[in-house]
Chain A
């Protein structure tokens, strides 16, 4: 059986932390293909049959592609802003579709139930109206004017506040969250989820952050984000099916899910379907 070339082949994916490469390299896989990330100057990513893949090092991570990306890796301008602390959170493996991992990150309605007393708490469960668009020029999904009550919005937050969020999906398995910065009103903290698709139902997730916070110890910042993501993991591993359904009849969205609806539509439009279920089974 021959298959059309999956357009996700030509995207960039994170495959290692540049600062944490073991001397012998990191043996891993990308979309089912075994690869090795080799330390050195420059860092190399090679396949089992000796092919050198294109690489770029940004946001603390080594990025590569099995294909030929038409564009450079998406830009996060805040990453270069002076005064921000760049936080490498590490990697967590999750037995779920890489697309499910991204979609969960775009969701706020689960905060009171999954991140109880940290990112959300009953009775403050209501998700108000927010704006969602697919920005044609950038070809990105954006959700703006998202607001939600948070009992402890970040490691440096001491009380409950109404937090503002913006969500952005610049690549099929990468997503960037901008949220109220408690330490510096007027600026946004940047929290990302970079997802490495190992297979359609298995992924390595690399959270990364660019924060204004001079108070909190770096380890505490790392652990806060690890805690949040690990609370999500048991959800992600128990959704049925493991693949993200793109068939509209399979799952029921509400107004709170408009970011997810736009994300799925955008995936479908580009045939970014590695990790997706096209027809309900």
Chain B
């Protein structure tokens, strides 16, 4: 299932949630991507499906500058090209073995992806710092009409980047005032839990009506 996206940056994760040499499943409006960071820190987003046997690449592992599938260890470079097939160690993998790759960039602690590299960089969101990503069991339209939300969480200025990820699930990447202290960040994180409960109550009410 090809992931289709328009030429817009979509926030998918926070930089702090993707340390070097790890991979995560990144939920987008049109499907899941395998988002990974190489040992040297470089970011890549690939289709979350190994072309060999369809295994999700986000279950794989990162060694050096390549992502490997957990099933048979086939490894992929940052361009999505298969680099190595352990069952045939001396075979140069044919060019046809390739996982689709997407533009991925991070700015101010937020990782953004796009189908094709947009002409402008992702927004800087100056004055904010990333707090946490939180998944809400409610439709994005219901929460905010799929738009970013400015609000206060425990009295702290917050910006929620809202991404509907299909079905009735929404991911909110929560940013807070860059000047917030640790204690304030903890309070804001707890308030985000309450905000999620409110959203889900709203969703249930909407279903009932």
Residue ranges of A at the interface with B (Cβ–Cβ < 8 Å): 107, 109-110, 112-114, 122-123, 125-127, 234-235, 238-241, 245, 250-256, 281
Contact = CB atoms under 8 A, between A and B. Distances in A.
Contacts of B150: none
Interface string B29-62: 0000000000000000000110111111001000
Interface residues of B, number: 22
Contacts, number: 67
A48 B86 CA distance: 49
Nearest to A242: B54
Given A113-B72, A235-B55, A240 B49 contact: yes
Given A113-B70, A252-B96, A239 B55 contact: yes
B88 A254 contact: yes
Contacts of B48: 240
Given A239-B55, A240-B49, A125 B71 contact: no
Given A238-B55, A238-B59, A239-B55, A113 B71 contact: yes
Where chain A touches its partner, the secondary structure class is: loop
B71 A126 contact: no
Given A123-B89, A238-B56, A254-B91, 13 more contacts: A109-B72, A109-B86, A112-B86, A113-B86, A125-B73, A125-B86, A126-B86, A234-B59, A238-B59, A239-B53, A240-B1, A251-B52, A255-B88
B71 A251 contact: no
A113 B1 CA distance: 26
Instruction: Please indicate which of the listed interface residues B51, B53, B59, B85 has the most CB atoms of chain A within 10 Å of its own CB.
Output: B53
Given A235-B55, A251-B51, A126 B73 contact: no
B97 interface: yes
A253 B70 CA distance: 16
Given A240-B49, A240-B56, A245-B54, A254 B73 contact: no
Contacts of A122: 73, 86
Nearest to B60: A113
A97 B73 CA distance: 22
A113 B49 CA distance: 17
B97 A252 contact: yes
Instruction: Please indicate which of the listed interface residues A126, A234, A241, A245 has the most CB atoms of chain B within 10 Å of its own CB.
Output: A126
A254 B55 contact: no
12 contacts: A109-B72, A109-B86, A110-B71, A123-B89, A125-B89, A238-B56, A239-B54, A241-B54, A245-B54, A251-B52, A251-B53, A252-B96
Contact of B88 (A239, A240, A250, A256): A256
Nearest to B32: A240
Contacts of B89: 123, 125-126
Given A125-B86, A256-B87, A112 B70 contact: no
Interface string B106-130: 0000000000000000000000000
Contacts of A281: 1
B70 A114 contact: yes
Contact of A112 (B54, B73, B91): B73
Contacts of B51: 251-252
Contacts of B55: 235, 238-240
